[in-house]
Amino acid sequence: MRVAIGQFTVAKEPERNIAVIDGYAREAARNHARLLVLPEGVIARSDDDPHYAADHAQAINGPFVTALRGISKTHGIAVMATAHLREASAPLPYNCLLVIDHGEILLEYRKIHLYDAFGERESDVIAPGDEVPPLVDIDGWKFGVMTCYDIRFPELARRHAVAGADALVVCAAWARGTDKVDHWMTLCKARALENTCYLLACSEHGKHDIGHSMAVDPSARILTEAGERDGLVYANLDRARLDEVRRILPVLVNRRLC
């Protein structure tokens, strides 16, 4: 399976972000990608206001998600991204990773591990999820999803791998800071290697976030890496390579603890 990772600086205006995503989906489909992975918080973001994304949350049947569904259907591509979504009866919105294919929502994952670290407090403006998301099947490939800070908790990735994931997907807005690029790259490679899964990771980039989106193979080889620039990068998921790594390094078979 050919996949695309679309890194960009999320704007304050939702319509600008939809225009970028539509262009990425068109280009990715033209280059035969079946899946487009996007960053965290794609409705709206401000580098100067940490609450901006939550304050601009929409309903799942609102204009932004409706547009995402239309993009997926028009271009025949699966889309994974997180959006801040609000329910009328809930006091706080959720940070929700959506998987959309052929215009249909296959999964809504509400972020479990909120980013209360490095001086930030996501839990002040976002409600946590409490359910491990099921795997999503796209053309016979099984994907387990995580959102940003989730990647620091290896038990979630392991739950996906034990459930049968072939690939892990991380949609993020990885904050800048001392050694934070090293943290990101180390964690992406570790989650792939310890679970012998492909890993697709997309981070927003800007004054607040690092970018450096990447695809990693099951032996922790970086297949592609975006650095700090807008644009698409591509990788191919190879079933034979996945099987080979798991034959040589059968950690999922050899494990003795749950």
- Concerning whether 40 is annotated as a catalytic residue, the answer is yes
The first and second tokens of residue 238, run together, are 């190879």
Angle between helices 14-30 and 63-75 (to 10 degrees): 10
- Assess whether 148 carries a catalytic annotation: yes
For residue 246, CA distances in Å to 160, 193, 197 come to 15, 10, 9
Q: What is the dihedral of CA 81, 83, 52, 118, to 10 degrees?
A: -60
Catalytic residue among 96, 122, 148, 171: 148
Asked if residue 13 lies in contact with residue 45, where contact means CB atoms within 8 angstroms, the answer is no
Catalytic residue among 27, 96, 108, 111: 111
Catalytic entry in 40, 96, 188, 189: 40
Alpha-carbon span 36 to 22, nearest angstrom: 11
171 noted as active-site residue:
no
The residues annotated with a catalytic role in the active site are 40, 111, 148
